[in-house]
Amino acid sequence: MLAGVVGAMIGGCAAPPSRDPFTSSGEVIAMGGGDAGATRACFTCHGLQGEGDGETAPRLAGLPAGYLQKQLEDYAAGLRPHALMRSVAGALDADDRGRVAAYYAGLPAAFTASTSPPPGGVAAALYHNGDPARGLPACASCHGDRGEGVGPANPPLVGQPAGYLREQMAQWRRSERRNDPRGVMLAISRRLTPGEVEALARYAAAPGPPAAPPAALPAASP
């Protein structure tokens, strides 16, 4: 009788099973890969501080958690084309995607700010004013005057590699990336010339205060 009572007490006080130590936190997933495996740990492409590689892998540090989690979901669903990221995101469950997104969102934005403004010209005019004649809204209306992002769904652009921004525009233009709300980026990317995309990518990525926006596009703009 006594043994049964003791057994019941021990069973009632048993600790719940602990989480898998390899996916116990966003940091562990970022540094160890979680269920995607150590060779696919996030830091191998995105840096130890989430700073990106300066070329094609974007910075993750300081981006909104909801935006980061949505991108992981979209990679897993194939709405963003990237073979490696689809494999990584697909190996994580929704909870772990949320954990790693929250981890990177909590890191300070890891890039070196510049004290000089980026070059202006057509890129500055398009970024701050758009081009109503072509139905182009200002980039700043969604991504902020300083590229800081506006709200949780419109990510910061400042500090991202220009090559990464250029490639995303190319993917939208080809309708390969299909996870923008209401197809806004698809429409914008197809109304810009390749030269304007290149200039905008460099302008938006340049860390530092933006050049004063001109009142309108130069007359010679295509």
Query: Do residues 59 and 107 touch, judged by C-beta distance below 8 A?
Result: no
Domain pair 23-105 / 122-205, same fold: yes
Kindly indicate the confidence band of residue 212, based on its pLDDT and cuts at 50, 70 and 90. very low
Give the number of other CB atoms < 10 A from CB of residue 144.
19
Q: Looking at this protein, which amino acid is placed at residue 154?
A: N
Closest CA to 99 of 26, 206, 193, 187: 26
160's tokens: 């991202």
Question: Is it the case that residue 25 has pLDDT exceeding 50?
Answer: yes
Q: Where are the domains of the chain?
A: 23-105, 122-205
pLDDT per position as a tens digit, 41-79: 999 999 999 999 988 999 999 999 999 999 999 999 999
Task: Give pTM, 2 decimals.
Answer: 0.79
Report the CATH number of the 122-205 domain: 1.10.760.10
Average pLDDT of every residue of the chain: 83
Kindly indicate the confidence band of residue 39, based on its pLDDT and cuts at 50, 70 and 90. confident
Query: Do residues 55 and 161 touch, judged by C-beta distance below 8 A?
Result: yes
Decide: helix, strand or coil at residue 54: coil
CA separation (Å) from 157 to 27, 29, 39, 149, 180? Answer: 23, 25, 28, 7, 15
pLDDT per position as a tens digit, 106-156: 999 866 555 455 556 899 999 999 999 999 999 999 999 989 999 888 999
Topology (CATH level 3) of domain 23-105:
Cytochrome Bc1 Complex; Chain D, domain 2 (1.10.760)
Question: Is it the case that residue 14 has pLDDT exceeding 50?
Answer: no
